[in-house]
Amino acid sequence: MNKTILLTGVFFGLTSVLFGAFGAHGLEKLIDANAIASYKTAAQYQMYHALLLLVLGILPKIEKKHKKQIFYIFITGIFLFCFSIYLLSIDTILGFNAKSIAFATPIGGIFLILGWFLLGYRIFKRFN
């Protein structure tokens, strides 16, 4: 499980850099400043959680079943939060109204918050 968590963290870190560079250099003339700022926020949050997955993967004192639960909660949060923001930011380029998926962003945020809460709880329980 640790290898999966670590490789997923690497994948999300890599794609965060790619998406961030694309947003900074490839989208600047295609979408407005507010959309660029939102896109940048998504890339930043994706990177934060990629790094967190790397930490989760090397934490030795959290049981495998708890790591797995936390991992899946973070993955869900990353996809719902970050990727919905990416799509919402570039919907004018894609030629469709992505507003119908806007509900996914706050749900993804709740998953990210829940993941942090569970991680903190497991660390507290394990080191207490």
Q: What is the pLDDT of residues 30-76, one digit of tens each?
A: 888 898 999 999 999 999 999 999 999 998 888 899 999 999 999 99
Q: Take residue 94 and report the two structure tokens written for it.
A: 């894609």
Which of 48, 50, 52, 54 lies closest to 6, judged by CA? 54
pTM for the model stands at: 0.91
- For residue 100, pLDDT beyond 90: no
Q: Take residue 105 and report the two structure tokens written for it.
A: 């962003």
Q: How confident is the model at residue 94 (pLDDT cuts 50, 70, 90)?
A: confident
- For residue 120, pLDDT beyond 90: yes
Structurally, the chain folds into a number of domains equal to 1
Residue with token string 């569970």? 118
Q: Which domain holds residue 101?
A: 2-126
- 3-state DSSP percent of the chain in helix, strand and coil, to 5: 85, 0, 15
Which of 74, 63, 65, 64 lies closest to 109, judged by CA? 74
Looking at residue 15, what is its pLDDT?
Answer: 96
Looking at residue 17, what is its pLDDT?
Answer: 96
Looking at residue 24, what is its pLDDT?
Answer: 83
